[in-house]
Structure 1
Amino acid sequence: MIDLLKAQKAFQKYITHYDSTIPSIRLKIIHTYKVIECSEYLCHKLHLSKEDSDLASLIALLHDIGRFEQWMRYQSFADHKTIDHALFSSQLLFDEGLIREFIEDDQYDDIIKHAIEQHNRYQVEDGFDEKTLLFIHLIRDADKLDNFRVKEEEKIENILYVSLDEVNHEQISEKIYQQFSQQQLIYAPDRHTHIDMWLSYIAFIFDLYFQESIQYIQDNHWVERSFQRLNPVDFKVNKQYQTLKQIALDYIQKRSAV
């Protein structure tokens, strides 16, 4: 049995160890609760059972549990430069036994573990059964959906760690331009500039699994809103940026019409 109220109280207790006045810590606390909301949205649209919906919410609650310690140790959320936050979250929960603070019943452990470990992968690994894949795709989509809200509400400085003016004076790396143009999820180590990073967040749309997630993006105009936050100064870069915007809009329009 899943007691979400108990799990949420345990999460609130856990985060008291971290200073919520630090912008990056506050960002991840809010993100956790918003990912739960996105997960609930998807579960409702997919007509999942209460048990499955509750399990998806629990996974959403725990998916970034390692982010807080990651930030305190490294002052960075860049996994390729620090630690894989998904694996670290899994280790905290299952190697160190933290999971039992959130749920006593161990029947869901394998699904929770696999979903958390796969939620930030460039591609989902092979070998999972249909049930496990459902929860992997739910958390991957819910996480990506809330990232669009984060990128709109948070200051650029809290996301990219440089000023908006600096980002707008940067170039788009050729490899990133090509990956986005080909409607591919962007491989994080290939990014070289902060505008590359920004485009990689928008490129999350190319990895969304559920049709309902695509509809969510379209209904909330997230592509337009995300592109509007930057305005590259260089004429050539701005032209590239607008081209990528149209590619993203066309992609959402095409997939939502399916």
Structure 2
Amino acid sequence: MDDATLSALRCWFRDYCRTFYTDNEDDNRNIRLKEEHTAQVCATMELLADSLALAPADRRLAAAVALFHDVGRFEQFRRYRTFKDSASVNHAALGARVLAEEGVLAGVAEGERRLIASTVGLHNVFRIPAGLDERHLLFLRLIRDADKLDIWRVFIEFYRQPAGERASAVSLGFPDIPHCTPAVVDTLLGGEMVDLATLRTLNDFKLLQLSWVFDLNFSCSRQVVRERGYVELIADMIPRQGDVARAIEVVRDALSPREPDSGAAGAVGRC
């Protein structure tokens, strides 16, 4: 993929997003949120690509994956009025289908086209499936980290906003009550990611977001989380009941600095 092809993909995405805006401001808040999220994920992907000193061709491929990772969210919201996959459709699979049906990647070489579509379709899986080759794994790990790094920002801003200014689909419908489900807390204590299906409250959802630190793949990603204070910002919004405080300490420990990623060529300083 050359620069001209990547530029054309960006133009298509911009025009595609415009087709989802309506006269309803609540609709537009939700669509705008996903368009802005995509822009931030693309910027974060550049940061990760720098940290790994990716070759120019791989940087462009990573940029295309970031651009399209949530392309299914727009049609999901238009059809179902929600971003909750379990109540609607798997947005990642829908995104891969949109790319195919719209012929978006027709000008991309076949191998890159398959990699982009497959990575988009898998970017939201709970656990990365076995059997993927190392190249596919690289781009899947990159988008999973870049996505999380901006979703933290999205939710922190959401929690801070007055109710009337929030994008309505963001909280996924969880009740905002001062309770944390013990099973969710126990999962964090075990250093594992929380499954969405186990959540009962908005505070559980915040704990799930904290558990994402256990699934970060690159030292640059962990550095970004530390520097932006995401764990503290979310943790401050969770009531300290039961073992919640101890679970948050487990999360903090998982962010401790580690050895730089192989092949980073010292570029981690950009993080």
Tell me the TM-score normalised to structure 2 length. 0.84
Residue 51 of structure 2 contacts residue 220 of structure 2 at CA under 8 Å; is this kept in 1?
yes
Runs of 5+ consecutive residues of structure 2 not aligned to the other structure: 260-271
Matched, 1:61 2:61: no
Give 1:75-94 correspondences, 5 Å limit: 75-94=81-100
Which residue in 1 is equivalent to 2:137?
Answer: 133
Deviations 1:195-246 (A, max 9, x none): 1112111211111111221111112221112222x153xxx62x54333322
Deviation of 1:34 after TM superposition, in Å, equals: 0.4
Deviation of 1:161 after TM superposition, in Å, equals: 6.1
Deviation of 1:153 after TM superposition, in Å, equals: 2.1
Deviation of 1:4 after TM superposition, in Å, equals: 2.2
Cα gap change, 1:195/1:44 in structure 2, threshold over 3 Å: closer, same or farther? same
Secondary structure of the structure 1 residue equivalent to 2:85: coil
Secondary structure of the structure 1 residue equivalent to 2:200: coil
CA distance in 2, matches of 1:56, 1:134: 9
Which residue in 2 is equivalent to 1:109?
Answer: 113
Deviation of 1:162 after TM superposition, in Å, equals: 6.8
**Which of 151, 155, 160 is the matching residue for 1:151?**
155
Secondary structure of the structure 2 residue equivalent to 1:80: helix
Runs of 5+ consecutive residues of structure 1 not aligned to the other structure: none
Matched, 1:99 2:104: yes
- Once the two structures are overlaid, the 10-residue window that deviates more, 178-187 or 151-160, is 151-160
C-alpha RMSD over aligned residues = 2.0
Which residue in 1 is equivalent to 2:268?
Answer: none
**Which of 14, 17, 42 is the matching residue for 1:15?**
17
**Which of 187, 192, 199 is the matching residue for 2:207?**
199
The code of the aligned residue for 1:250 comes to: D
**Which of 201, 217, 220 is the matching residue for 2:225?**
217
Matched, 1:184 2:188: no
Deviations 1:170-204 (A, max 9, x none): 31112111111111111111111111112111211
CA distance in 1, matches of 2:92, 2:182: 29
Residue 66 of structure 2 contacts residue 143 of structure 2 at CA under 8 Å; is this kept in 1?
yes
CA distance in 2, matches of 1:9, 1:60: 14
The code of the aligned residue for 2:36 comes to: I
Matched, 1:24 2:35: no
CA distance in 1, matches of 2:179, 2:143: 32
The code of the aligned residue for 1:64 comes to: D
Aligned residues: 246
CA distance in 2, matches of 1:223, 1:231: 11
Per chain length, whose mean CA-contact separation is higher, i.e. which structure has more relative contact order (CA < 8 Å, sep 6+)? 2
Which residue in 2 is equivalent to 1:175?
Answer: 183
Deviation of 1:106 after TM superposition, in Å, equals: 3.0
Which residue in 1 is equivalent to 2:79?
Answer: 73
